[in-house]
C-alpha cells in the first residue's frame, strides 16, 4: 500500500478542485473548553467516590467518562463522509461582501448536527443536516481589492452531539471570487463619442449593424443564429447587432481624468455602468484589451471582467 | 399558563429528575424553595433578561446560603454543600438561556446525580439516576443542535450513547484500582437505624421485631447448615437494676474458651445499624474485620458503631465450653440482684435452692415452671409496674422473649446460679435463589445463659418452654394469630417475588456496593493472579479500554453505504482498466452484466474471475450486498491479472 501524505493540523492543505469528501484522515478532534471542565468534574467525582467510598459513585463516574469517550467518536462521525461542493460565487464590486456558499451533502441516513463553516474570524450560521440532504453554508467575506481572488483555506467544524469535543477539517478548495473595481463614487459625464476607430456612426442611420458573435442562449431569435458557423461544426452562436442610430461611445483608458491606475479603473467601471444604463452601445478601450461596442449584461460583464483583471499576470 | 418553549423543558426537566430523589434528604425548605424557583422559571412570570429578575437572584442566593448555614452549620460537605448546590442550580435556571448555560447546567446536573449516591445506593435509585443521566445527555444533544431536536430523536441518541458507553464503564469499574480505605475519612452520613441496644427493658425487643429491616445475611460454606437453629449472639446483659438489663461495664478479663467438634464457616454481610455489635453464632476464633474484638462475655464488637454495610468471614464452633472456672468477681456480678425488687420471684428462687437440689435440677424446675403455668407468648403484654418480674411471673403471665429471659435470669440468680441475659437474633429466612440466610430485625430474640460447674456458660431459652414454635419455626409461627398483624409480614403469594428481590439486593450489595479492594483482589485473582498487582490492573485496563473503544469506533466510523458504493466503483474502474489493457473495452452503453457476458465469451479462461468481480460490484452498486463483499471485490480485483 502506498503511503499517503499525512494531514497535520499545522500543514497547509493541498488545493483541491471539485467535491471534497471528508475522510477520517483529514478530521481533527480536540476537547473544547467545556470538555476540559467536564474532565475536571469527572476527576472531582472520582475523588468524591473514593473519599466517601461510594461504589456506585465510581460506576457513575466511569459511565460519564465513557459517555464522553463515545461522544468523541460521535463527534468525529458527525463530519465523517460528508461531501463538500463549493458553489459558484457571484462577482462583487470591491468594498462589497462576497457570499461563498458551500454545499454540504449528507450521503448517509443519520442526522448531522451543528455544522459551521469558518475562515479566520468569519463564520457561517450553524446548520443541522438531516439524513440524505444538503445544506448550503454561507460565509460572507468582504472584498477590498479588485481581481480574481482565491479563498484562503476553510474550516468545517462541529462540536455536536455533546459539545465536549470539537471536530474539524481544514480544506483549500479551488474557489474564487471575481471582484470588480469599485465604481468611482462621483459621476462624470461619459466621454464624447469621437468617431475615431472602428465606429462608423451615422453612415447607415436607422439600421443595425452586425458587430460580433456571442454564445447562443435559449430564446435568441432563429434569424440571428450564425448558421454558417454552425455548418462548419462550431457551437451555435448568435449574431449581435448594434443600434448605431446614435453614436457609439468609446470608454477610453486615456479619457479618464484620473491618473492613478486603480482610480482610472474605478472611473471606467462607473462609465461602463452609466453607459449601459443609457441604452447606447458602448465599447471599451484599455491597454491590452479592446472590447468592441455592444450592449447587454454579457457585454457589461465582459467589460467588468477585463477591468477587474487588469494588470494580472 | 402559557406553554413553555421546549428549550426550557430540556433545561428544567432533567434538573427536576435529578432533584426528586434528593427531596428525601434535603431540608424541607430547600426542596420547597427549589420547587418554587422551577415553577417560576417555567411559569408565565419569567422574562428573558429581565433586569429586576437578575437583581433578585443574588439576594436570594445569599439568603439561601445563610439558611443552609443555619440548618447545617456549614455550606460544604455532603449535607450543607448539596443543599447549597441545589439552591444555586435552581437559581441558575432563572438566568439560563444560551447553549453555554445549558452545558454548565448539565455538568451541575451530573454532579447533583452523583451526590444522591452519598445517601442512597439502592438498585431502584440507581436505575432512576441512570434514567436522569440519559435525559441530561439527551438534553445536551437536543440543545447542542442548531435547531432544537425533537425529543424522541434526542432521547434515542442519548440512550444509544449511554448504552455504547456502558461496556467501557463496566470495565473501568471492575479494573480501576480500588483503595484500601477511604483517603479522607470524612463525615459519615448514615442515619441511626434500629438494632440491638446495650440495654433491655420490657418492650425493647417487641418494638424491634416490628421492623422488617434486614439485620444481616449469612452465607454458609456448607449447604447443609440449618441457619434457623442458630443463635446469633449480640450484646450480653449482666447487670440488672430492677427494671433494665444492661451490659457489664468492666468486661475485659481473660476467660478460657475450648472448642469442641468441627468448625463452621460462614460469611456475614451486616447492614449498618449504628451499633457496634457483630452478630456471631458459636465460638469464633477471629473475624476478618479490622478492629473487631471479643469481650469476656463472648460478644464481638466492631471498632466503631457500624455505619456502613460490613462483610466478615467467620470460623466458629457451635459446641464449645467457656469460662469453666468463674472468678469470684465475675461470679458475684452474675449473681447480683437489686435490693427490694421482685420479692416473690426472689423467694421462689431461694426456695428452689433451699431444697438442696443440684443446679441442673433448679434450671429444669424453672423451665418446667414456665411450661406448666399458663404462660402466654404475645407481642402485646400488659404494662408492668415497679416489680415487673413479680407481676409477670405471678400475675399477667403474658410476655415476649425479653420477659421470659429476664424473669428466668432473676430466678436463677435468686437460686444462687450465676446467670445473664443474652440478646441477639434467632431464626431467619432461607433464600433458595441465592442460597443464603436472611436475618431481619424481626428475628431479634433474648435468651438466658446460666453458669454450671464443669460446663461453663450454658444457653437456656425459656421462650422455648412457652412457645416452642418460636424457636423451631421462627417468630411468625410462634406468635398467636392476633399478634401477627403487627409483624408487617408480607402476603404469602408475594414470597417468591420478595425472595428474588432480596437476591437482587444482596447481589447488588455484594458486587456493586461492596466492590472494594478486597473483593476486587479476589475477583481478579480468580481470572489471573497477575491482575492483582497495580501494574497488572493498569495494563489490563488499558488493553481492555483500547479494545472496547476500537470496537466502538469500528462500529461507529464504518464506511456508509454511499462510501462503499463509491469505493466499489473505484475498484471496478481498475478492473475495467486492466480489461482494456487486455483488449476488452466496455462500451459506453454496455452494462456491467452485458460486458461480463461478452468478455467471458471472448476470454473463457477469465470467465470465472470476471463473473465473480461483476457480481460483487453489481451487488454493492445496485443491490443491498453486505459490507464484506467490498473486501471480496478488492481482493478479487487485486488478484485479477488478465
- Whether B619 has a pLDDT exceeding 90, the answer reads no
The pLDDT, as a whole number, for residue B192 is 44
The nearest CA of chain A is from the CA of B162 a distance in Å of 6
Residues paired with residue B259 on neighbouring β-strands, in sequence order: B320
Cα distance between residue A75 and residue A38, in whole Å = 16
- Whether B186 has a pLDDT exceeding 50, the answer reads no
Least confident stretch, A17-31, A197-211, B406-420: A197-211
Judge if ipTM > 0.85: no
Provide the pairing of β-strand A154-158 with A165-173: antiparallel
Which residues in chain B touch residue A70, judged by CB atoms under 8 angstroms apart?
A: 161, 164-165, 168, 552
The pLDDT, as a whole number, for residue A7 is 64
Query: CB pairs under 8 A, 24+ apart, for B344-347?
Result: B344/B387, B344/B390, B344/B393, B344/B394, B345/B389, B345/B390, B345/B393, B345/B394, B345/B407, B345/B410, B345/B411, B345/B414, B346/B410, B346/B414, B347/B414
Q: What's chain A's average pLDDT?
A: 84
- Per residue in A246-285, pLDDT (tens digit) is 567 888 888 888 889 999 999 999 999 998 888 888 999 8
Cα distance between residue B586 and residue B592, in whole Å = 8
* E strand or H helix at B205: helix B204-208
The larger pLDDT score, comparing residue B621 to residue A299, is at A299
- Per residue in B160-185, pLDDT (tens digit) is 999 999 999 999 999 998 876 544 33
Most confident option among A35-39, A279-283, B8-12:
A35-39
pLDDT band at A202 (very low <50, low <70, confident <90, very high): very low
Residue B616 falls in the annotated catalytic set: no
Mean pLDDT to the nearest integer, B523-531: 89
A34 contacts B104? CB cut-off 8 A: yes
Cα distance between residue A305 and residue B55, in whole Å = 59
b/e code A213-241 from CB counts within 10 Å (16+ = b): ebeeeeebeeeebbeeeeeeeeeebbbbe
The pLDDT, as a whole number, for residue A289 is 86
The pLDDT, as a whole number, for residue B486 is 64
The pLDDT, as a whole number, for residue B376 is 85
**Helical segments of chain A, H only:** 33-51, 55-79, 227-231, 261-278, 297-308
C-alpha cell read off for B244: 433494665
The pLDDT, as a whole number, for residue B5 is 62
B514 contacts A114? CB cut-off 8 A: no
The pLDDT, as a whole number, for residue B485 is 66
Residue B461 falls in the annotated catalytic set: yes
- Whether B55 has a pLDDT exceeding 70, the answer reads yes
The 10 Å Cβ neighbour count of residue A136 is 15
The packing angle between helices B151-175 and B517-527, to 10°, is 80
Residue % of chain A over a pLDDT of 70: 87
Radius of gyration of chain B (CA): 37
The pLDDT, as a whole number, for residue A64 is 95
Least confident stretch, A72-76, A242-246, B258-262, B398-402: A242-246
Q: Which of residues 155 through 184 in chain B touch A, CB cutoff 8 A?
A: 157, 161-162, 164-170, 172-173, 176, 178-179, 181-184
Whose CA is closest to B95, among B167, B47, B129?
A: B47
Mean pLDDT to the nearest integer, B491-511: 82
Cis check: omega of the bond before A161, within 30 degrees of 0: yes
- Per residue in A158-173, pLDDT (tens digit) is 998 999 999 999 999 9
Mean pLDDT to the nearest integer, B508-523: 84
Catalytic residue among B401, B443, B502, B616: B401
Mean pLDDT to the nearest integer, A135-158: 93
* E strand or H helix at B448: strand B444-452
The pLDDT, as a whole number, for residue B1 is 36
Residue A217 has φ and ψ, to the nearest 5°, of -125, 140
B512 contacts A73? CB cut-off 8 A: no
Q: What's chain B's average pLDDT?
A: 85
Catalytic residue among B219, B390, B461, B502: B461
B117 vs A60, A70, A162: nearest CB: A60
- Give the chain A residue nearest B562 (alpha carbons): A107
Residue % of chain B over a pLDDT of 90: 24
Least confident stretch, A1-15, B27-41, B213-227: A1-15
Least confident stretch, A49-58, B41-50, B85-94, B429-438: B41-50
Cα distance between residue B562 and residue B564, in whole Å = 5
The nearest CA of chain B is from the CA of A88 a distance in Å of 25
B117 vs A54, A111, A163: nearest CB: A54
Q: Which of residues 520 through 559 in chain B touch A, CB cutoff 8 A?
A: 549, 552-553, 556-557, 559
B553 contacts A59? CB cut-off 8 A: no
- Whether A208 has a pLDDT exceeding 70, the answer reads no
Q: Find all residues with CB under 8 Å of A63, minimum gap 6, and list them.
A: B130, B133, B162, B165, B166, B169
pTM across the whole model: 0.73
A81 contacts B146? CB cut-off 8 A: no
Q: Which of residues 65 through 124 in chain B touch A, CB cutoff 8 A?
A: 78, 99-100, 103-104, 107, 110-111, 113-114, 117-118, 121
The nearest CA of chain B is from the CA of A77 a distance in Å of 6
Cα distance between residue B196 and residue B273, in whole Å = 9
Mean pLDDT to the nearest integer, B421-432: 88
- Whether B156 has a pLDDT exceeding 90, the answer reads yes
Which residues in chain A touch residue B186, judged by CB atoms under 8 angstroms apart?
A: 51-52
- Give the chain A residue nearest B190 (alpha carbons): A52
- Per residue in B252-303, pLDDT (tens digit) is 777 888 888 888 899 998 888 888 899 999 898 888 888 888 888 889 998 8
Whose CA is closest to B285, among B312, B324, B306?
A: B312
Cα distance between residue B83 and residue B91, in whole Å = 12
Interface-testing mutation among A44, A49, A53, with chain B (most B C-beta atoms within 10 A):
A53
Whose CA is closest to B632, among B609, B606, B599?
A: B609
Residue whose grid cell is 437474633 = B425
The pLDDT, as a whole number, for residue A176 is 92
- Per residue in B125-150, pLDDT (tens digit) is 999 999 999 999 999 898 888 888 88
Cα distance between residue B190 and residue B98, in whole Å = 39
- Give the chain B residue nearest A115 (alpha carbons): B146
- Per residue in B366-389, pLDDT (tens digit) is 999 998 888 888 877 887 888 889
Planar angle of CA A299, A302, A305, nearest 5 degrees: 150
The nearest CA of chain A is from the CA of B532 a distance in Å of 19
Residue B401 falls in the annotated catalytic set: yes
B162 contacts A69? CB cut-off 8 A: no
Cα distance between residue B220 and residue B315, in whole Å = 10
A67 vs B99, B126, B162: nearest CB: B162
Which residues in chain A touch residue B159, judged by CB atoms under 8 angstroms apart?
A: none
The nearest CA of chain B is from the CA of A120 a distance in Å of 21
The answer to whether A91 and A309 have CB atoms below 8 angstroms apart is no
Residue whose grid cell is 440507581 = B126
A-B interface: how many C-beta pairs under 8 angstroms?
A: 159
Amino acid at each position: 500500500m502506498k503511503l499517503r501524505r499525512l494531514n497535520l493540523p499545522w500543514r497547509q492543505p493541498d488545493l483541491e478542485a471539485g467535491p471534497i469528501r471528508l475522510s477520517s484522515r483529514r478530521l481533527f478532534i480536540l476537547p473544547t473548553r467545556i470538555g476540559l471542565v467536564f474532565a475536571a468534574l469527572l476527576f472531582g467525582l472520582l475523588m468524591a467516590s473514593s473519599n466517601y467510598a461510594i461504589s456506585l459513585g465510581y460506576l457513575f463516574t466511569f459511565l460519564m467518562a465513557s459517555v464522553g469517550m463515545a461522544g468523541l467518536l460521535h463527534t468525529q462521525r458527525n463530519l465523517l463522509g460528508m461531501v463538500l461542493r463549493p458553489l459558484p460565487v457571484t462577482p462583487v464590486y470591491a468594498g462589497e461582501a462576497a457570499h461563498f456558499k458551500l454545499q454540504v451533502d449528507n450521503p448517509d441516513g443519520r442526522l448531522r448536527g451543528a455544522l459551521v463553516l469558518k475562515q479566520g474570524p468569519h463564520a457561517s450560521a450553524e446548520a443541522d443536516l438531516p439524513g440524505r440532504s444538503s445544506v448550503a453554508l454561507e460565509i460572507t467575506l468582504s472584498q477590498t481589492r479588485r481581481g480574481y481572488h482565491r479563498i484562503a483555506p476553510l474550516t468545517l467544524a462541529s462540536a455536536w452531539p455533546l459539545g465536549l469535543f470539537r471536530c474539524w477539517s481544514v480544506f483549500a478548495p479551488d474557489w474564487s471570487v471575481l471582484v470588480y473595481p469599485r465604481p468611482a463614487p462621483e459621476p462624470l459625464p461619459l466621454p464624447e463619442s469621437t468617431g475615431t476607430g472602428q465606429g462608423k456612426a451615422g453612415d447607415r442611420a436607422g439600421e443595425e449593424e452586425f458587430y460580433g458573435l456571442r454564445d447562443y442562449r435559449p430564446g435568441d431569435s432563429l434569424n440571428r443564429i450564425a448558421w454558417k458557423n454552425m455548418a462548419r461544426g462550431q457551437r451555435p452562436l448568435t449574431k449581435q447587432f448594434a443600434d448605431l442610430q446614435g453614436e457609439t461611445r468609446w470608454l477610453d483608458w486615456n479619457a479618464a481624468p484620473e491618473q492613478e491606475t486603480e482610480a482610472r479603473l474605478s472611473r471606467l467601471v462607473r462609465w461602463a455602468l452609466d453607459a449601459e444604463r443609457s441604452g447606447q452601445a458602448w465599447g471599451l478601450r484599455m491597454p491590452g484589451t479592446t472590447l468592441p461596442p455592444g450592449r447587454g449584461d454579457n457585454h457589461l460583464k465582459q467589460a467588468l471582467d477585463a477591468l477587474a483583471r487588469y494588470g494580472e499576470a | 399558563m402559557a406553554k413553555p418553549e421546549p428549550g426550557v423543558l430540556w433545561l428544567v426537566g432533567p434538573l427536576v429528575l435529578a432533584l426528586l430523589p434528593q427531596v428525601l434528604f434535603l431540608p424541607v425548605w430547600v426542596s420547597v424553595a427549589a420547587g418554587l424557583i422551577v415553577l417560576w422559571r417555567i411559569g408565565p412570570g419569567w422574562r428573558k433578561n429581565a433586569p429586576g429578575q437578575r437583581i433578585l437572584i443574588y439576594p436570594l442566593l445569599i439568603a439561601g446560603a445563610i439558611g443552609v448555614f443555619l440548618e447545617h452549620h456549614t455550606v460544604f460537605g455532603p449535607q450543607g454543600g448539596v443543599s447549597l448546590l441545589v439552591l444555586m442550580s435552581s437559581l441558575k435556571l432563572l438566568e439560563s438561556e444560551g447553549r453555554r448555560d445549558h452545558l454548565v447546567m448539565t455538568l451541575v446536573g451530573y454532579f447533583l446525580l452523583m451526590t444522591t449516591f452519598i445517601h442512597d445506593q439502592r438498585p431502584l435509585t440507581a436505575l432512576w439516576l441512570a434514567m436522569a443521566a440519559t435525559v441530561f445527555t439527551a438534553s445536551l444533544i437536543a440543545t447542542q443542535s442548531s435547531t432544537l431536536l425533537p425529543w424522541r430523536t434526542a432521547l434515542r441518541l442519548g440512550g444509544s450513547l449511554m448504552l455504547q458507553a456502558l461496556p467501557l464503564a463496566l470495565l473501568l469499574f471492575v479494573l480501576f484500582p480500588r483503595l484500601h480505605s477511604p483517603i479522607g475519612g470524612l463525615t459519615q452520613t448514615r442515619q441511626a437505624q434500629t438494632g440491638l441496644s446495650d440495654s433491655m427493658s420490657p418492650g425493647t425487643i417487641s418494638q424491634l421485631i416490628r421492623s422488617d429491616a434486614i439485620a444481616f445475611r449469612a452465607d454458609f460454606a456448607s449447604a447443609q447448615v440449618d441457619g434457623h437453629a442458630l443463635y446469633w449472639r449480640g450484646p450480653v446483659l449482666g447487670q440488672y437494676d430492677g427494671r433494665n438489663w444492661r451490659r457489664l461495664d468492666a468486661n475485659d478479663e481473660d476467660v478460657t474458651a475450648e472448642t469442641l467438634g468441627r468448625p463452621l464457616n460462614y460469611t456475614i454481610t451486616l447492614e449498618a445499624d449504628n451499633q457496634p455489635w457483630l452478630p456471631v453464632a458459636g465460638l469464633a476464633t477471629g473475624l476478618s474485620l479490622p478492629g473487631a474484638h471479643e469481650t469476656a462475655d463472648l460478644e464481638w464488637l466492631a471498632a466503631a458503631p457500624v455505619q456502613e454495610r460490613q462483610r466478615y468471614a467467620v470460623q466458629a464452633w457451635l459446641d464449645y465450653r467457656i469460662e469453666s472456672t468463674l472468678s469470684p468477681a465475675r461470679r458475684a456480678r452474675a449473681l447480683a440482684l437489686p435490693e427490694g425488687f421482685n420479692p416473690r420471684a426472689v423467694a421462689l428462687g431461694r426456695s428452689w435452692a433451699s431444697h438442696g437440689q443440684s443446679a441442673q435440677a433448679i434450671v429444669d424446675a424453672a423451665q418446667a415452671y414456665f411450661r406448666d403455668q399458663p404462660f402466654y407468648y404475645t407481642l402485646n403484654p400488659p404494662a408492668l409496674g415497679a416489680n415487673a418480674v413479680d407481676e409477670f411471673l405471678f400475675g399477667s403471665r403474658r410476655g415476649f422473649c425479653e420477659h421470659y429471659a429476664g424473669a428466668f435470669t432473676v430466678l436463677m440468680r435468686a437460686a444462687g446460679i450465676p446467670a445473664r441475659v443474652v440478646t441477639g437474633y434467632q431464626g431467619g429466612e432461607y433464600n433458595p435463589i441465592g442460597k443464603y440466610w436472611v436475618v431481619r430485625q424481626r428475628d431479634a430474640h433474648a435468651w438466658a445463659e446460666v453458669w454450671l460447674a464443669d460446663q461453663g456458660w450454658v444457653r437456656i431459652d425459656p421462650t422455648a418452654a412457652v412457645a416452642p414454635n418460636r424457636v423451631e419455626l421462627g417468630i411468625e409461627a410462634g406468635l398467636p394469630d392476633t399478634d401477627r398483624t403487627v409483624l408487617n409480614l408480607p402476603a404469602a403469594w408475594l414470597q417468591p417475588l420478595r425472595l428474588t428481590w432480596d437476591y437482587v439486593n444482596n447481589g447488588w450489595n455484594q458486587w456493586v456496593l461492596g466492590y472494594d479492594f478486597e473483593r476486587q483482589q479476589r475477583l481478579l485473582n480468580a481470572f489471573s493472579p497477575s491482575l492483582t498487582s497495580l501494574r497488572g490492573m493498569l495494563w489490563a485496563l488499558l488493553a481492555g479500554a483500547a479494545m472496547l473503544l476500537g470496537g466502538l469506533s469500528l462500529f461507529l466510523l464504518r464506511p456508509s453505504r454511499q462510501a462503499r458504493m463509491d469505493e466499489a466503483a473505484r475498484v471496478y474502474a481498475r478492473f475495467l482498466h486492466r480489461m482494456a489493457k487486455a483488449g476488452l473495452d466496455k462500451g459506453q452503453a454496455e452494462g456491467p452484466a452485458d460486458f461480463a457476458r461478452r468478455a467471458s465469451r471472448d476470454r473463457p479462461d477469465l470467465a470465472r474471475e470476471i463473473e465473480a468481480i461483476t457480481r460483487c460490484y453489481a451487488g454493492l452498486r445496485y443491490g443491498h450486498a453486505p459490507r464484506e463483499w467490498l473486501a471480496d471485490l478488492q481482493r478479487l480485483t487485486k488478484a485479477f491479472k488478465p
